[in-house]
């Protein structure tokens, strides 16, 4: 295979994996704290819509990115209140949030459908971008890809080497014991959910401002659901989240690669590949481990009055 082709495939894989990585990192932190939020798809769509609208109106990409992250976080507040304060079923609440975010994003973005803008430009890092094979993929990306890498490193350090990471994990494993030790379980879970919402909104901003700089209904294309499956695939381990995001990112562009290579396969079947890979991986993980590695209190409500 031509070296240039390999570099382009790796470059496209990293770009495609970036929204998955952002959503999965946020979802993993929320689930590590014991909260199962299935509303990622709705939050991604809200982030994409608000980010595009803000950037289009102000002609400022930075404001659009911040607006997208804030929109995702704002929607997650609704989920946090219903699921944590009212102790509603987290699965049902998350599904309702996805429906709500999908409908609201389509409503507020209706006047911007079909509009486009110049997206975030790649920023080549001197010397590093010239490294054969991986240079273009890792060091000639836009700022949001670099931000995703930075957030991955920060969260890896927090979860593996700090007291804060230990507290988050303890809240997800045994909230009663954490509460007995004096940790504010609900506040920690609130922060984790809001962080997950901001990350989903940031992923949406990446989709509408960098990956495909335009707004259209359903621009998330199921990425929120794939990211949730990615967390399970990674067994709630942050390093595997990155590797899994790249795997699913490659699966998402594989149909383009096969079509470009002249294979006569239905484009509809090829477009299904990332979702088929998601299902196959989950089945394989379940058969291999037999039981889930999820935090023991995942999805279970907690009340400090108990």
Q: What confidence score (pLDDT) does residue 51 get?
A: 97
From 35-44, 94-103, 125-134, the region with the lowest mean pLDDT: 125-134
> Domains of the chain by range and CATH?
3-289 (1.10.3470.10)
Tokens read off for 242: 């990155």
Give the residue among 224, 221, 200, 215 at the shortest CA–CA distance from 75: 200
Start-end of H helices in 59-142: 61-80, 90-108, 135-139
On average, the pLDDT of the chain sits at: 90
User: Per-residue DSSP letters for 176-219?
Assistant: HHHHHTT--HHHHHHHHHHHHHHHHHHHHHHIIIIIS-B--TTT
For strands 140-141 and 123-124, give the pairing.
Answer: antiparallel
Q: Which residues make beta-bridge pairs with 105?
A: none
Instruction: Note the pLDDT tens digit of each residue in 190-226.
Output: 999 999 999 999 999 999 999 999 999 999 989 999 9
Overall average pLDDT of the 96-109 stretch = 96
d(CA 197, CA 102): 15
Q: Is 38 exposed, middle or buried (0-12, 13-18, 19+ CB in 10 A)?
A: buried
Instruction: Note the pLDDT tens digit of each residue in 147-193.
Output: 999 999 999 999 988 999 999 999 999 999 999 999 999 999 999 99
Is pTM, for the whole model, over 0.75? yes
Instruction: Note the pLDDT tens digit of each residue in 137-146.
Output: 999 999 999 9
d(CA 45, CA 41): 6
């Amino acid at each position: 295979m031509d070296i240039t082709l390999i570099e382009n495939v790796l470059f496209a894989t990293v770009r495609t994996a970036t929204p998955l990585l952002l959503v999965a990192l946020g979802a993993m932190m929320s689930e590590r704290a014991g909260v199962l939020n299935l509303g990622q798809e709705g939050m991604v769509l809200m982030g994409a819509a608000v980010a595009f609208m803000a950037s289009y109106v102000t002609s400022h990409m930075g404001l659009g990115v911040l607006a997208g992250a804030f929109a995702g976080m704002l929607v997650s507040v609704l989920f946090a209140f219903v699921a944590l304060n009212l102790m509603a079923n987290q699965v049902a609440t998350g599904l309702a949030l996805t429906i709500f975010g999908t409908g609201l994003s389509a409503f507020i973005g209706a006047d911007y459908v079909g509009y486009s803008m110049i997206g975030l430009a790649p920023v080549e890092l001197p010397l590093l971008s010239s490294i054969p094979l991986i240079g273009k993929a890792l060091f000639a990306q836009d700022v949001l890809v670099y931000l995703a890498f930075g957030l991955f490193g920060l969260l890896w350090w927090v979860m593996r080497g700090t007291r804060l990471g230990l507290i988050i994990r303890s809240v997800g494993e045994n909230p009663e014991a954490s509460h007995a030790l004096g940790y504010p379980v609900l506040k920690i879970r609130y922060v984790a959910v809001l962080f997950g919402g901001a990350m989903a909104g940031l992923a949406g901003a990446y989709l509408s401002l960098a990956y495909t700089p335009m707004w259209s209904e359903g621009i998330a294309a199921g990425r929120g659901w794939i990211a949730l499956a990615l967390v399970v695939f990674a067994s709630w381990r942050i390093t595997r989240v990155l590797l899994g995001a790249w795997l699913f990112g490659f699966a998402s562009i594989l149909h383009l690669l096969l079509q470009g290579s002249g294979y006569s396969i239905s484009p509809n079947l090829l477009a299904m590949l990332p979702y088929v890979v998601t299902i196959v991986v989950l089945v394989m993980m379940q058969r291999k481990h037999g039981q889930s590695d999820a935090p023991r209190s995942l999805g279970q409500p907690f009340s400090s009055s108990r």
